Amino acid sequence: MPARSTPRKAGPALTPLLQYCSRAVVRLGVWRTTLLFSACISLMSLGLTWLYIRLGGYGEMGEAFYISLLVPLPMTLLPGGMIFALVAALEQARHTAHTLSMTDVLTGLHNRRHFMQTAQRELDLAQRHGLPLALLILDIDHFKHVNDQHGHDVGDQVLVEVGRRCTQVLRATDLLARWGGEEFVVLLPNTGYEQAHQLAERMRETVAYSAQLYAAQGAVKVTISIGVAGTVAQQPTTLDALVQQADRALYDAKRAGRNQVWLAKPLGSFTPGPLAPR
């Protein structure tokens, strides 16, 4: 059995203060931050010089006023600008890396990692306040045939188009993510079973009636199958259990002929069944 690779430890996270400062540099801009920093250093130098002269009993500041105010400027403008430019570049890179780690590169949707983190928070919130929540898993029918007959470029276009069509149907509070391969997953906060069924059916119809692409070999007809699962009031559940329920319902939809919406069986509730295509 091959040995498992040891996971690499993550680097130390930025402290809240450092995060605030780096974001402030990006918001203000490098040169504004540099000028503000230089002005603060010059005023600090002037204040310290005035205090030294006052405590030493040297009388008036005289030329020391201009020296203490102007000398720090060239010493802080160039180095400060370079440092703040580096800070801004690092913050931008950090933000880009964070965004990419949560995004599916092909479709531009959220990825599985982001979905699991967000879905767990939403599930905890729903169970704490007794709110309904539904989860959908959808799969593109005969996607392997699309790849084999039209090529992977067309297959990629199908994935993008299905994601785009599903996004048009969903609400602003819903979360659509690419689950893996030709599968997508949808989280529907504050949504009961009946409303989830209706939304899933609209998604199925939207894809079936409009998500067509044209390749060299002709039109590519696309349909999807969807499994629906949801929480039941006063019955605690886990995110993994919801995913498994939706996945089993998706399997039933595939086995029943595809291009269908099937409902998972809530704990202690009705038997799973299809929401037949119209």
Residues assigned a catalytic role = 182
Backbone φ, ψ for residue 244 (5° rounding): -65, -40
Tokens of 209: 């009636």
Tokens of 17: 């203060």
SS (H, E, C) the chain: CCCCCCCCCCCCCCCHHHHHHHHHHHHHCHHHHHHHHHHHHHHHHHHHHHHHHHHHCCCCCCCHHHHHHHCHHHHHHHHHHHHHHHHHHHHHHHHHHHHHHCECCCCCCECHHHHHHHHHHHHHHHHHHCCCEEEEEEEECCHHHHHHHHCHHHHHHHHHHHHHHHHHHCCCCCEEEEEECCEEEEEEECCCHHHHHHHHHHHHHHHHHHCCEEECCEEECCCEEEEEEECECCECCCHHHHHHHHHHHHHHHHHCCCCCEEECCCCCCCCCEEECCC
- C-alpha to C-alpha distance for 103 and 99, rounded to whole angstroms: 6
- C-alpha to C-alpha distance for 174 and 151, rounded to whole angstroms: 32
